[in-house]
Amino acid sequence: MAEQVGESKDQIRRYIRLTHLIPEILELVDNSVLKDQETLQIAMRPAVELSYLRKEEQADLFAIMDEMDCTPSHAQAIKMRQMSEAKTGGERLAKDALVSIMKEEKPNQVEQFKIPKNRIAKFFPAGTPAQKIEDTIVKALELYRKRQRSLEITLLPREQCAHLQGTGVFAVPPLHTSPLVQPKQPKKEDIWGG
């Protein structure tokens, strides 16, 4: 049959496996095939994994997907299948477990930050690997943050410093490497209000 329709045997098995889905989830697969951007959709491979869930579990999951307006990734669907198959007898996968899995961050949902290469190219030799560029930028930002923190003076509100009264401790000036930048030493009255 696979040869007749020009599909692999595995793909035919996937199509057959989809018949084990409840109609509501099967419709989400159809939405994906039709590329209907206005409706919730699920890809074939996660749907195949979900077809191994009990019908009640699928119904619970569909309600969760509808409420959260998202569908599970392939990895999440595999996790759901494994947890469902671990249940015995009449036990079923708890709704809380399904919600917990659905709330896990998906790799394609991790927020990315992009910088046009032409903005940073002058700082790196030609041919520098992208990972080395990223590591260098992160290290530079860590050093920048450390420097900024060393320039700040943190003065605590009076209520938080009450235990220090009479100890002579009233502020710690930042460390400076430049003799041109010297912070004013705060007066005791400025910190304790009087």
Q: Please tell me the distance from the alpha carbon of residue 186 to that of residue 184, in angstroms, as a whole number.
A: 6
Q: Please tell me the distance from the alpha carbon of residue 119 to that of residue 121, in angstroms, as a whole number.
A: 6
CB 21 within 8 A of CB 29: yes
Judged on CB neighbours under 10 Å (0-12, 13-18, 19+), 14 is middle
In three-state secondary structure terms, 161 is helix
**What kind and span of H or E run contains 139?**
helix 130-151
In 3D space, the residue among 144, 76, 125, 69 whose CA is nearest the CA of residue 104 turns out to be: 76
Per residue of the chain (194 residues), give pLDDT as tens.
556 667 788 888 999 999 999 999 999 988 877 776 778 889 899 999 999 999 999 999 999 999 998 899 999 999 999 999 998 777 888 899 999 999 988 766 566 677 888 888 888 898 888 888 888 988 998 998 888 877 765 555 556 555 555 555 555 444 445 455 555 555 555 555 54
In three-state secondary structure terms, 89 is coil
Neighbours of 133 (CB within 10 A): 16
Please give the C-alpha separations between residue 157 and each of 152, 167, 168, in angstroms, as whole numbers: 16, 16, 16
